[in-house]
Amino acid sequence: MSGTNNKKNETANTNLTSQAAVKPQESVSLFKDAMYRLATNKAAMISLSVLVLVVIFALIGPTSLFTSYNYYSNDLMNANAAPSAEHWFGTDDLGRDVWVRTWVGARVSLTVGLAAALIDLVIGVIYGAIMGYYGGRVDGIMNKFSEILYSLPYMLVVILLLVVLEPSLTTIIIALTITGWISMSWIVRGEIMQLKNRDFILAARSMGASTGRQLFRHLLPNAIGPIIVTLTLSIPNAIFAEAFLSFLGLGVSAPRSSLGSMINDALTGWTLYPWRMWFPAGLMVLTMLAFNLLGDGLRDALDPKLRK
Amino acid sequence: MEFHIYPDFFVCAPIFLIILEISDKWIGLYFCLILQSICIQNIVCGGVQGLVKYVLKKLLFMLLSLFILASLTFFLMKAIPGDPFTAEKKLSPEIRALLEVKYGLDKPMYEQYLKYMGGILKGDFGVSMRYLNQDVTDMITQTFTASLKLGIFAILISIVVGVLLGLLAAVYHRKLIDDVTMVVAVIGIAVPSFLLASLLQYVFAFKLGWFNVMGFDGPLDYVLPVAALSASPIAFIARLTRSSMLEVLHADYIKTAKAKGLKWPAIMFKHVVRNGILPVVTYVGPMTANIITGSVVIEQIFNIGGIGKVFVESITNRDYTMIMGITIFYGILLMLARFLTDIAYVLIDPRIKLESRKGA
């Protein structure tokens, strides 16, 4: 792994020198350089725009801008209606508008994904930074604890918690984060352990930088690459987990929709009413695809070792 | 100088006590002897016999994790407000008392806990709370074979197909095969297994009629569930194999091998595959978890009478003892898989440092 860092430095340095000839005072950070590389990655940029679109539609799709229906009103006379000008995505078995429910479901899925990933990020970074920075016995004990927690099967613990707690958006997010932060903390720990012995940290320390300043100003910004990649890839994982839980009947409770529960509901009448399946399923696959491709793009951009 | 504490021994002490306390005389003695010898060996061996120490350490860790999982499951289930009989129609106090005696719920919490943990050691997960006199252990053993067959096939197919695809993609790097494989891999990761299962069922069983829509009798019935289960592991393994093979293909020792005039197959199988396969081995543990959780849903869709189906039913019925039993059983399987993976990894890669390799 130390090789990675050397190479990272080299790339950063070569960029610095080439830029320095033109503009002496402006330096290009590794991060900016990576963003530039990401911008040239077509798949990642398309994914990013798809995600932006999905987020925008999740926000405005169910509003009165597009439709006069809401996600919970039944209209049994119009149950299982095919897509039409009135109901763009058709209606489900209770006559609820699938367009609205799909975007409300996207809201739920995205909320779960983002919230779980962000909580994982905060806990994981703090825990990992403490482990990596202090090392020694602190590291030993904290690491043992995280290892034991990690050895508990993730999905089983989540299912158990949701059987016990009343399923709701909050409890799903809590259940998903209870062991979800560990991989992030290990990545941060590894990065910090490598970085803390480098000269620039020695310099910062000898100039009297506090622990907090060393961590947040010097160490963590240098570990930003792996952190972002892990974050991007943990969002689809959480969305997946939520869909899986909905399938088991442990997701958000009716009449709220999530993409997973819509797909599950649609399974029974799939051959007759395929639109009830295609729209939520298509959106789900599109979102997952976009997150994964973006994550890959970020990894390529941020980790020069992988570029060949 | 290395300084070792052995927390394992202290962690073990309470487990010893509990085991002695609750289980049959002989079983308890047996388990205690094993644990004791592990601990003693752990201390005696120190840094002398790396591999033995490593294996024992992992084994102990596995037992500890299982212990925690079982306790967690027990207390979580006890934390649910109300008892299993509140859902039924109003019971008279006498009948309720009788039921509580029957299921041992009248005893204090710690006694129930000790009894349950002791039962697990003997392979007894208690009685179903939903179906009269239905033993959880019986239910698991009856349904396990179907799930096991499904799971083993899925794991084998995942590894074989995944490694082959990854290898092809790496050898024909930046050619058409590479692109196609990687597109397939990304889609495999992006499509949830239950969606894929329904899609396969719809197209190949319902529309084309090549396979039975449901059931699990003939060899043909394996095709769709196994395909649905192994899609995402195949995708993961293909990507892993590709990137690690690419790295190996560019390594100096491959150039050396070529320069020595070694034949293509020899280079490929003796050098490239052997080294490139390592990351795949680490994935076997997570893959097992993936396939187990996947099978829960797949069995439901294809109506296969395996553990997964029972698990889903017990969750819908809130059959707590059944949920507990299956959770712990799944936990045992997963940890066993992880344990074997760790051992296999050390055996395959002689360079591995035996101390700690997490975070890598």
Query: Which of B8, B66, B194 to substitute to test the interface with A, most A CBs within 10 Å?
Result: B194
Quick one: average pLDDT of A287-296? 86
Quick one: average pLDDT of B215-226? 78
- Is the Cα dihedral A180, A185, A188, A194 positive or negative? negative
So what's the pLDDT on residue A122? 93
Give me the torsion for CA of A202, A204, A205, A211, rounded to 10°: -120
Residue A284's nearest CA partner among A265, A261, A268 is A261
So what's the pLDDT on residue A137? 85
3-class DSSP state for residue B84? coil
CB atoms within 10 A of CB A54: 20
Q: What is the DSSP letter of A76?
A: G
Decide if B105 contacts B83 (C-beta within 8 A): yes
Query: Which ranges of chain B does DSSP label H, i.e. alpha helix?
Result: 7-22, 25-45, 50-79, 93-102, 109-121, 136-171, 176-190, 193-200, 223-249, 252-259, 264-266, 274-276, 278-301, 307-317, 320-348
Q: Which residue of B has its CA nearest to A161?
A: B76
Say whether residue B358 is in contact with chain A using an 8 A CB cutoff.
Answer: yes
Contacts of B134 (CB under 8 A, 6+ apart): B127, B128
B contact residues 173-212, partner A, Cβ 8 Å cutoff: 186-187, 189-192, 194-195, 198, 202, 206
So what's the pLDDT on residue A124? 92
- Burial label for A26, CB within 10 Å (0-12, 13-18, 19+), is exposed
CB atoms within 10 A of CB A94: 16
| pLDDT higher than 70, residue B56 | yes
| pLDDT higher than 60, residue B64 | yes
State pLDDT tens for residues A216-232: 888 888 888 788 888 88
- Burial label for B71, CB within 10 Å (0-12, 13-18, 19+), is middle
Give A85's pLDDT tier (boundaries 50, 70, 90).
low
DSSP code per residue over A232-298: HHHHHHHHHHHHHHHHTT-SSPTTS--HHHHHHHHHTTTTT-THHHHHHHHHHHHHHHHHHHHHHHH
Residue B198's nearest CA partner among A249, A159, A103, A276 is A276
- Is the Cα dihedral A159, A165, A169, A174 positive or negative? negative
Query: Which ranges of A23-153 does DSSP label H, i.e. alpha helix?
Result: 30-39, 42-60, 98-134, 136-151
Higher pLDDT, A161 or A71: A161
Residue B302's nearest CA partner among B234, B161, B202, B189 is B202
Phi-psi region of A135 (alpha: psi -120 to 50; beta: other; left: phi over 0): left
Both structure tokens of B83: 């008892």
Both structure tokens of A186: 């290990």
So what's the pLDDT on residue B11? 55
State pLDDT tens for residues B272-299: 887 778 778 878 877 888 888 888 888 8
Distance, in Å, from the CA atom of B70 to the CA atom of B73, rounded to the nearest integer, reads 5
Contacts of B298 (CB under 8 A, 6+ apart): B150, B193, B194, B197, B225, B228, B229, B304, B308
Give B38's pLDDT tier (boundaries 50, 70, 90).
low
Flag whether the ipTM exceeds 0.95.
Answer: no
- Is the Cα dihedral A216, A218, A221, A227 positive or negative? negative
Higher pLDDT, A62 or A46: A46
3-class DSSP state for residue A70? coil
Higher pLDDT, A27 or A131: A131
Size of interface A-B (CB pairs under 8 A): 110
In chain A, residues with a C-beta closer than 8 Å to the C-beta of B236 are none
**What are the respective helix, strand and coil percentages of chain A, to the nearest 5?**
75, 0, 25
Q: How many Cα atoms are found within 13 Å in the side-chain-facing hemisphere of B88?
A: 13
Distance from CA of A154 to the nearest CA of B (A): 9
Amino acid at B191: V
What CA–CA distances, in Å, run from B176 to B173, B181, B183?
Answer: 8, 9, 11
State pLDDT tens for residues A140-180: 888 888 887 887 778 878 888 887 777 788 888 888 888 88
Q: What is the DSSP letter of B127?
A: B
Distance from CA of A20 to the nearest CA of B (A): 33
Threshold 0.80, pTM exceeds: no
In chain B, residues with a C-beta closer than 8 Å to the C-beta of A289 are 186-187, 190
What CA–CA distances, in Å, run from B93 to B89, B106, B109?
Answer: 12, 13, 20
Q: Which residue of B has its CA nearest to A271?
A: B202
Mean residue pLDDT of chain A comes to 77
Say whether residue A2 is in contact with chain B using an 8 A CB cutoff.
Answer: no
Max CA distance (Å), chain B? 87
Give A12's pLDDT tier (boundaries 50, 70, 90).
very low
State pLDDT tens for residues A193-218: 888 888 888 888 888 888 888 888 88
State pLDDT tens for residues A254-264: 677 788 888 87
Amino acid at B211: F
Q: What is the DSSP letter of B48?
A: S
3-class DSSP state for residue A197? coil
Say whether residue B17 is in contact with chain A using an 8 A CB cutoff.
Answer: no
Distance, in Å, from the CA atom of B42 to the CA atom of B64, rounded to the nearest integer, reads 15
State pLDDT tens for residues B314-342: 877 777 788 888 888 888 888 888 888 87
* A168: β partners: none
Give A8's pLDDT tier (boundaries 50, 70, 90).
very low
Quick one: average pLDDT of A95-120? 85
So what's the pLDDT on residue A34? 76
Give A20's pLDDT tier (boundaries 50, 70, 90).
very low
| pLDDT higher than 50, residue B172 | yes
